[in-house]
Structure 1
């Protein structure tokens, strides 16, 4: 485990996730694109992203923009750098966890994330960190998967797969009430739209997309 990031890159799981999202990312993106296009519309020239992975969201930045990428999984870094170069994005890669970005108070206009808050150790701490680094009027734009309602078949499947799913996907939890955490995180305004994916990744359902403002 890195003393700096507090994140341990598993010798098998880290490279597997980098390869998996490189191959399957475009498939997942087909279901998420219209929601991302809405919440990521009009991104400024400098954006902070939590868990940039292999660069799935670079397409939503204008060429010549700067992405401050908070990405502790070193197995993702080579693919992320290559993707940033292809998209014409200046990459400021930070090998840190989302709970401790190292950014100054009130120094950021926009933070984005997608399919990341499910994997962090402490999502409430991450949201507090986002509020800390955002300047007044700043936005946190997100597309995340959340727990299905209790008693539904999807929730039963999420619970049944909890341990193997979490181990495979870097601690990913399918049972987090991220909408509730966002609404209780102290943002001035939180707008959330729930939706469902159409595809084979049933534990990824349901999803939320939205914007939180300071």
Structure 2
């Protein structure tokens, strides 16, 4: 089976040969950063339609974590196009963070469409190093479809714990590796992953993000595995939930 997977991986790589050539000469990263926001802008609309009930359920209790100020302060890491804004409660103070500055145009559009929120600032930074955010300064951190592409989820979670106040919460919704090694989804994840990661800005189909969350120093973890309503899609295995500092 491993030989078959390797043959199929090479076959897919050959179909994407121009991208591999660009990457070899160090040109693909800059090209990818410019086109990825356009891809995500289209994808986010489709994803939100399919996952609307999941997101509503996930963010339903955000207000439970409102801090002493009486206003919910929320940091969204890997904010992308702002696809989550409509699910946040009225009056929520939102700080956005993303390592790709090219999302700014799409983010501004989403902010204008969601005037029930109070937008603080947009930070261009990696989630592994959020030094611009003070220790214990936010009630909630939100992360959706980001863990797949970060270099170190352990470093991200360490930063999340640093910026959260005591009793604050980390909300997550992430696609992950299939836990059923005999499934077709697992098979397709394995053959697609090398080229998928290259084309889609480091997105890894085989991340075991739930293990990192279980190993992090949260006082509570509410996590469940779900299958997103995307038939035979390699990103259909998901985890969702929240963790309390």
With the length of structure 2 as denominator, give the TM-score of the two structures: 0.79
Alignment of 1:175 onto 2:206 = yes
- Which one of 95, 101, 119 corresponds to residue 124 of structure 2? 95
Alignment of 1:46 onto 2:73 = yes
Taking the aligned partners of 2:120 and 2:81, their CA distance within structure 1 comes to 12
User: Which residue of 2 is the match for residue 24 of structure 1?
Assistant: 43
Unaligned runs of 5+ in 1: 1-7
Alignment of 1:55 onto 2:82 = yes
| More helix as a share of residues | 2
User: Which residue of 2 is the match for residue 5 of structure 1?
Assistant: none
Deviations 1:83-107 (A, max 9, x none): 1122113241000000111212222
> CA offset at residue 65 of structure 1?
2.9
User: Which residue of 2 is the match for residue 14 of structure 1?
Assistant: 33
Aligned residues: 207
Taking the aligned partners of 1:109 and 1:188, their CA distance within structure 2 comes to 15
- Which one of 133, 139, 144 corresponds to residue 109 of structure 1? 139
Task: Classify the secondary structure of the residue corresponding to 1:92.
Answer: strand
Alignment of 1:124 onto 2:124 = no
Alignment of 1:156 onto 2:187 = yes
With the length of structure 1 as denominator, give the TM-score of the two structures: 0.90
Taking the aligned partners of 2:90 and 2:108, their CA distance within structure 1 comes to 14
Contact 1:99–1:122, Cα closer than 8 Å, also in 2: yes
Taking the aligned partners of 1:56 and 1:160, their CA distance within structure 2 comes to 29
> CA offset at residue 9 of structure 1?
9.1
Deviations 1:110-130 (A, max 9, x none): 000111111111011101111
Taking the aligned partners of 1:65 and 1:139, their CA distance within structure 2 comes to 15
Taking the aligned partners of 2:28 and 2:137, their CA distance within structure 1 comes to 29
Taking the aligned partners of 1:92 and 1:213, their CA distance within structure 2 comes to 24
> CA offset at residue 160 of structure 1?
0.7
> CA offset at residue 198 of structure 1?
2.1
Mean CA deviation greater in 51-60 or 13-22: 13-22
